Amino acid sequence: MTPDEYCQQRAAQSGSSFYYSFRFLPEERRRAITALYAFCREVDDVVDEVSEPSVARVKLEWWREEIAKPYQDIEPAHPVVKALTGPMARYDLPLEYFQEIIDGMAMDLEYNRYPDFKSLTLYCYRVASVVGLLSARIFGYQDRRTLRYAHDLGLAFQLTNILRDVREDALRGRLYLPEDEMARFRVSFEELVEGRSSDRSRALFAFQAQRAREYYRRALAQLPDCDRPAQTCGLVMAAIYSATLDEIERDGYRVLEHRVSLTPIRKLWIAWRTVRRERRRRAVCPS
């Protein structure tokens, strides 16, 4: 199995919304973004699947050294880093961004609570906004405002994930909802673990959804027209994630009772519809 094939397998197995957006990219960029996604899965799995924190820290430290090798002209051992080596140079992907992602995963070993939204944003930046910034470089851009779009869109994705996975995270002992907001809506951590929906919890989740929607709006408002064609993949992801938020709202914010998700065929339909919409937009308003 080649490094690219390994990364493709990792992406396909995940069933993530990201995978459906990759399908519409040119081959070279698709291989690069798939390798980036595989890297994120690898380091995320270290934290989620290794039960002993000290062992997880050692594994993350290994990843820090491994991801730095291409920048030091050292041949990497892992197929994901082998697959990333070409894109790192081709798309000018900074080493510090990969290190930031690892820093974000390491935060899960140190923190399981965030007192307020401001403190949560550092975590979101590291595990999501930085991925957005790397993705924007791979997709290509002309205007630096596109980087602000990528930053905020990554944050919107992470806020959506937090809401969708709130009980799953609680069962792991993790809380990504700001504690001051939990207190304001009078929702306890125990309610999340037990899956007890209430008017209070649904109001709390509606508040979180509204914040995520605001970040989607802010991100899309910052994307310059000149970069929309290159960033179509991100727009596909935004459409899929926004549809997930819509489903959560339609379901009455009952995320404690079951996990809301879109079917693969619906994700593919949204992806195809978004790509077609963007092509029509370019036909009507050519640059």
- Residue 79 pLDDT: 96
Split at pLDDT 50, 70, 90, the class of 284 is: low
Q: How confident is the model at residue 287 (pLDDT cuts 50, 70, 90)?
A: low
pLDDT for the residue 286? 55
Q: What is the mean pLDDT of residues 17-25?
A: 73
Q: pLDDT tens for residues 87-144? A: 999 999 999 999 999 999 999 998 889 999 999 999 999 999 999 999 999 999 999 9
Supply the pLDDT for residue 32: 96
Domain count, the chain: 1
Give me the domain span that covers residue 47: 3-284
- For residue range 31-87, what is the model confidence (pLDDT) as tens digits? 999 999 999 999 999 988 777 889 999 999 999 999 999 999 999 999 999 999 999
Please give the pLDDT value at position 121: 96
Cα–Cα distance measured from residue 70 to residue 60, given in angstroms and rounded to the nearest whole number: 17
According to the model, what pLDDT value does residue 15 have? 62
Share of the chain above pLDDT 90, in %: 80
Provide the whole-model pTM.
0.92
CATH number of the domain where residue 247 is located: 1.10.600.10
Identity at 100, one-letter amino acid code:
E
So what's the pLDDT on residue 70?
97
3-state secondary structure the chain: CCHHHHHHHHHHHHCCHHHHHHCCCCHHHHHHHHHHHHHHHHHHHHHHHCCCHHHHHHHHHHHHHHHHHHHHCCCCCCHHHHHHHHHHHHCCCCHHHHHHHHHHHHHHHHCCCCCCHHHHHHHHHHHHHHHHHHHHHHHCCCCCHHHHHHHHHHHHHHHHHHHHCHHHHHHCCCCCCCHHHHHHCCCCHHHHHHCCCCHHHHHHHHHHHHHHHHHHHHHHHHCCHHHCCCCHHHHHHHHHHHHHHHHHHHCCCCCCCCCCCCCHHHHHHHHHHHHHHHHHHHHHCCC
Per-residue pLDDT tens digits for 172-226: 999 999 999 999 999 999 999 999 899 999 999 999 999 999 999 999 999 999 9
Q: What is the mean pLDDT of the chain?
A: 92
